[in-house]
Structure 1
Amino acid sequence: MSLRNTLSFLLYDWLQVEQLSQRARYADHSRETFEAVFDTCERIAVEKYAPFNRLVDTQEPHFDGEKVVLPQATYEARKAYAESGMLSAAQDYELGGMQLPFVVDSAANTFFAKASISIGSNMLTTGNANLLMAHGTALQKQVFAHNEFNGRFTGTMCLSEPQAGSSLSDVATRAEPDGPDYEADPLGPRYRLRGNKMWISSGDHELSENIVHLVLAKVPDANGKLVPGVKGISLFVVPKKMVDTQGQLTGERNDVVLAGLNHKLGWRGTTNTLLNFGEGKYPVRGAAGAIGYRVGNVGDGLRCMFHMMNEARIAIGMAATMLGFAGYEASLEYAKNRPQGRPLGAGGKDAAAPQVPIIAHADVRRMLLAQKAYTEGALALNLLAARLVDEQHTGDAPSAAEAQLLLEVLTPIAKSWPSEWCLEANSLAIQIHGGYGYTRDFPVEQYWRDNRLNMIHEGTHGIQANDLLGRKVRMQDGAGLKLLTQRMKATAEQAKQWPALADFAGQLTQAWDQVLHTTALAWQWNDANRSLANAVPYMQAFGHVVLAWIWLDVVCAVQTRSDAQLDAAAQGRMACAQFFFHYELPKIGAWLQVVQTGDTTFVDLIEEGF
């Protein structure tokens, strides 16, 4: 099944996305307008992205002493993307947007992610602008966000530091008021920033007129000391080049300096940088220190930044999914055309018989179906998350509140599960290619290298697991967990009406009961260290049950639209569900066991023992 056909089923038959056109915001849209957007995105992806995926991997960004140099193909791809209107696709008409549902916007961007995640679809730019639209002043929105939506500017998020990494409480970048009139600047309270930021994707390039950095920094207290912990963090918009209140460049560089490029395993086409803020190389208005304009209140930085981080986490889940999907398509094509070996008959192999394509062999078919189950299931999960965003913004009050609560619980899974299991799909794609898969003559090794990043950035696996077990399932007295339980039970009840799905319904209910039981047991020791020691196995089990629920819900839609004689696509989806329940769901027992017992083997081992 092609990506386009898979999207069509998931959007229209499963998620009933056409019904969104009945809402005022999307009244101008229909299936025809959605398909027109997909036509445009698929065409650009095929013409401007896919042919250059290997090129941007081998011709890495480099610094020539003045600027970062990228292949011309990257410029052409970004230009085509910006001109398509996709940067502002989900925004209001007044901003030049299309007012597309976010779920359709997300689906449209899958074409670019699958064609070349390394060239990218500018997710940081739209996320940056969306944060400013939610938390910025009117002028910050006009000057920075609007120009990101129209393609003039690009955006980043600057969180990590060389000494801090994911530990944001240890951020040491300082932001000091710039003069006695600092609060009078029309672009927002004006500060001078000094510090270093690490792992900044798209931190420096010449792809746009300007780069808008969103920077986490701490404002010193009255004694000149930084407030410890995350409560001391504030957020600042720091442009690479200074602008006026009309968004025009003033001709002056801000004191933001590229200190180096990181050379990565994958995503090589995207620049990744170390940036120095305020080192004095480009004095602004006669003084050192990068000019930044505060967004929100002092100490409110992390809350504001989570608006972008949560959006990015869902986008990373989709990126991982599409890399898995690309690897699946490549290995399926290879398996259909690579002759090798002969099938086993009653008397063994017939050496005189002609060779068969390797798709005839059982182990290859196992690996193909696993990839299909992982990638299509992950795609459904991430489209559901995007659909919940639409419900949160345009549903009635009760529906919006439920969507927000359910999205809170599912976000760690939407990011982490595809990052782990679509990476495994890429590994299986290499295995199907055999020795060829380990060479650069075939694309699957690059897909694996690109995908390996996704378990790390926008919050590592461990961070997502701690968030899930330590906060999300416990917040509001477990309200999100109770809501998810209701949704799973509803799917199980629906599935029972079809004999082919009845057993799956029982398995899902039993598996989820195990998760709920384990959730309660995980906190029995009143010791957070012990409870969270096995947060990752907990998240793996939780995620697997969520994906079992997703697959059961999807095949309920298959049964609803199909007659007794299922077509090939429907048979494929039914096989995915069967594979997941037979081969994947049983894995949760081992994961949950260590959580239930509070096993601390690796915690208790003395350091020298490692």
Structure 2
Amino acid sequence: MTSSLRHTLDFLLYQWLEAETLQQRSRFSDHSRETFDAVLDTSERIAREKYAPFNRLVDLEEPRTETEPDGTLRVVLPQATYEARRAYAESGLLSAAQDYDIGGMQLPYTVEAAANSFFAAASISIGSNLLTSGNANLLMVHGTDLQKQVFALNEFNGRWSGTMCLSEPQAGSSLSDVATRAVPDGEGFEADPLGPRYRLKGNKMWISSGDHELTENIVHLVLAKIPGPDGKLIPGVKGISLFIVPKKLVDTEGHLTGERNDVALAGLNHKLGWRGTTNTLLNFGEGKYPVRGAAGAGLDGAGSGAIGYLVGKPGDGLKCMFHMMNEARIGIGMAATMLGLAGYYASLDYAKNRPQGRPIQSSSASAAGKGGKDASAPQVRLIEHADIKRMLLAQKAYGEGALALNLYCALLVDEQHTGTPEAADEARLLLEVLTPIAKSWPSEWCLEANSLAIQIHGGYGYTRDFPVEQYWRDNRLNMIHEGTHGIQAMDLLGRKVLMEGGKGLALLAGRINGTVQRALQVPRLAAHANALAGALQQVGAATKAAWATGEPGDALANAVPYMQAFGHTVLAWVWLDLALATLAKDAAVAQPASVGRMGAMQFFFHYELPKIGAWLQVVSTRDATCAQMPEDAF
């Protein structure tokens, strides 16, 4: 698997995205192709040695709890998880893109994302500590200097890990219904060096890595509401604020005080997939671990509840948390992508080695009375059947196309941070529009790739004798977490394509048209270029038609078909651009890798892009079949 992935990454990074040119920027000037490759080599090795061999183990031996003598719960994980996490932390990848002066490597995020793809492919369930990096990155932007020093840097160095605590049992994805409360912790609460100190009470659900003993501490980032002057929670999202709530209390030097915060594990969720990652229900401030106050604060801390330190300003919780959520959404897109590719590599290997059936004879042989097949002929391998090639091409088109899209988004992150002011603003706008696609498209279509991988294995694919059933189970989560499919669709059609007067959408259309114009000059790509131009025109017209009445209910009733068509158009653009890069390197298409990429591109344009017409039809007509269906009719 890793050799095929490495060849694909090398092409995408160096031939398509030209990542080597990033070293011309001052932030990356110490780097070269050699250092980038060294990071990829290290990641590939750790993934191969510490992750891949234990992917089935962590699926079968999912997290469990043991009751301690004091009645509290402790999470038990396989030893392989500890060793994998330790190897990852010691590699420095947790802080790969951070500044030298805090122990980082100052790597381009593009290279960091490529490096992390090896871990996702080897065992998404063991994981690459996505939430820890996202948690620390949020604090580096929105935290105080001391919060960065105490919390973020100890996450980057691997001592501590991090979570994001948004959802609640009664609220799900509806953050406006968050009921967790945060009240000031006595008089002078604002004087705590670690940040204004509050007491939190509430319950959080679906918290990935919410409790474990992989690290000495866990830094929870928790959304909670600060009551208004009347003591009541403010309806909606206006009162939501963000708090650092460590599992164990710490001092201003980052040392553990020896006292537990009032954060209690209430139980584990037992999942369809991603079983190696703990997923928890956490109770904040229930009195399991009563605490008086932060050590060294000099305050009475007379209140009850879990101690939390305010991040940013009161009421800015969602604004701060979206920094982590957007990063997580692109990360989920990459996770879905790599599961799709893992299934593709497994089914490709199976198809190359499994004898099954015989070829259909030519028409002349059939006319001679030999029938459609010659039963005396030896069996052929699965890969020699046209329908197997169809399913393999679909997986390749979905997986490699999604990988290219996610790395393109990673390059936009680098552009946003290190480009000229104009380029940085363009990158920001493009990321706004593309983030819902980068999350949702791989989570839908790489799941379909996993289904096709099972199909290629036949009955064996439905057993645990082969890994493809686990890849499907693991991938099914990705359409749900970090914003469900429907939420991403409403974000795309309801916000992103409209924001700043449609500037981001126009910018993306300009990039797509640029590829179309270049491809029109290449005879073998001209027809595909025209097809993409037509698709882009259809998406633009559907966007206007959806909003023709100005009523959100009319437009958003078919937001998911809109997102599917939009995503397919974006992926067609990616594939056409990849074809241009392929021909620039190998004009004769003489190399097998070039034949494969050109074939996947052609498959996408012939089999996938035509689907957008049906999706956009219901969008353009504002079809109300679903929205107006009465409940009792079901």
TM-score band (shorter)? over 0.9
Return the letter of the residue paired with 2:156: F
Q: Are residue 301 (structure 1) and residue 308 (structure 2) matched? A: no
Counterpart in the other structure of 1:13: 15
Deviation at 1:608, TM superposition (A): 1.1
CA spacing shift, 1:358–1:255, aligned 2, 3 Å? same
Counterpart in the other structure of 1:289: 305
Counterpart in the other structure of 1:532: 556
State the alpha-carbon separation in 1 of the partners of residues 237 and 587 from structure 2: 56
Counterpart in the other structure of 2:242: 235
Counterpart in the other structure of 1:409: 433
State the alpha-carbon separation in 1 of the partners of residues 381 and 81 from structure 2: 37
Counterpart in the other structure of 2:334: 318
Deviation at 1:287, TM superposition (A): 5.1
* Most deviating of 474-483 and 340-349: 340-349
Aligned match for 1:35, one of 34, 37, 51? 37
State the alpha-carbon separation in 2 of the partners of residues 434 and 561 from structure 1: 38
Number of positions where the alignment pairs a residue of Structure 1 with one of Structure 2: 610
Aligned match for 1:258, one of 262, 265, 279? 265
Aligned match for 2:513, one of 489, 500, 504? 489
SS at match of 1:2: helix
State the alpha-carbon separation in 1 of the partners of residues 627 and 331 from structure 2: 33
State the alpha-carbon separation in 2 of the partners of residues 96 and 524 from structure 1: 53
Provide Cα deviations, 1:299-344, integer angstroms capped at 9, x if missing partner.
Answer: 0000000000000000000000000000000000000000010011
Deviation at 1:49, TM superposition (A): 0.2
Deviation at 1:563, TM superposition (A): 3.2
Runs (5+) with no aligned partner, structure 1: none
Runs (5+) with no aligned partner, structure 2: 69-73, 293-301, 367-371
State the alpha-carbon separation in 2 of the partners of residues 25 and 500 from structure 1: 40
Counterpart in the other structure of 2:193: 186
* Most deviating of 294-303 and 560-569: 560-569
Provide Cα deviations, 1:156-209, integer angstroms capped at 9, x if missing partner.
Answer: 000000010100000000000001110000000000000000000000000001
TM-score (norm 1): 0.99
Counterpart in the other structure of 2:59: 57
Return the letter of the residue paired with 2:137: N
Counterpart in the other structure of 1:275: 282
Counterpart in the other structure of 1:338: 354
Aligned match for 1:82, one of 75, 79, 89? 89
Deviation at 1:65, TM superposition (A): 1.2
Aligned match for 1:223, one of 219, 230, 246? 230
Counterpart in the other structure of 2:166: 159
Counterpart in the other structure of 1:125: 132
Return the letter of the residue paired with 1:524: A
Counterpart in the other structure of 1:48: 50
Cα pair 1:282 1:288 within 8 Å, conserved: no
Deviation at 1:604, TM superposition (A): 1.4
Counterpart in the other structure of 1:205: 212
Cα pair 2:134 2:324 within 8 Å, conserved: yes
Q: Are residue 604 (structure 1) and residue 604 (structure 2) matched? A: no
Deviation at 1:248, TM superposition (A): 0.4
Deviation at 1:562, TM superposition (A): 1.1
State the alpha-carbon separation in 2 of the partners of residues 340 and 185 from structure 1: 70
Counterpart in the other structure of 1:139: 146
Return the letter of the residue paired with 1:270: T
Report the RMSD for the aligned CA atoms in angstroms.
0.7
Aligned match for 2:447, one of 393, 414, 423? 423
Provide Cα deviations, 1:249-297, integer angstroms capped at 9, x if missing partner.
Answer: 0000000000010000000000000000000010111753000000000
SS at match of 2:357: coil
State the alpha-carbon separation in 2 of the partners of residues 603 and 23 from structure 1: 51
Counterpart in the other structure of 1:349: 373
Which portions of structure 1, spanning 4 or more consecutive aligned residues, are displaced by more than 6 angstroms? none
Provide Cα deviations, 1:350-380, integer angstroms capped at 9, x if missing partner.
Answer: 1110001010111111000000000000000
Provide Cα deviations, 1:74-122, integer angstroms capped at 9, x if missing partner.
Answer: 0000000000000000000111111000000000000000000000000
**Share of identical aligned residues, percent?**
75
SS at match of 2:601: helix
Return the letter of the residue paired with 2:129: N
State the alpha-carbon separation in 1 of the partners of residues 514 and 631 from structure 2: 48
Return the letter of the residue paired with 2:107: L
Deviation at 1:566, TM superposition (A): 2.4
Deviation at 1:491, TM superposition (A): 0.2
Counterpart in the other structure of 1:577: 601
SS at match of 1:238: strand
Cα pair 1:280 1:287 within 8 Å, conserved: no
SS at match of 1:197: strand
Aligned match for 2:545, one of 510, 514, 521? 521
Cα pair 2:572 2:604 within 8 Å, conserved: yes
| Mapping 1:412-561, distance limit 5 Å | 412-561=436-585
SS at match of 1:259: strand
State the alpha-carbon separation in 2 of the partners of residues 106 and 526 from structure 1: 39
SS at match of 1:487: helix
* Most deviating of 562-571 and 445-454: 562-571
State the alpha-carbon separation in 2 of the partners of residues 163 and 27 from structure 1: 50
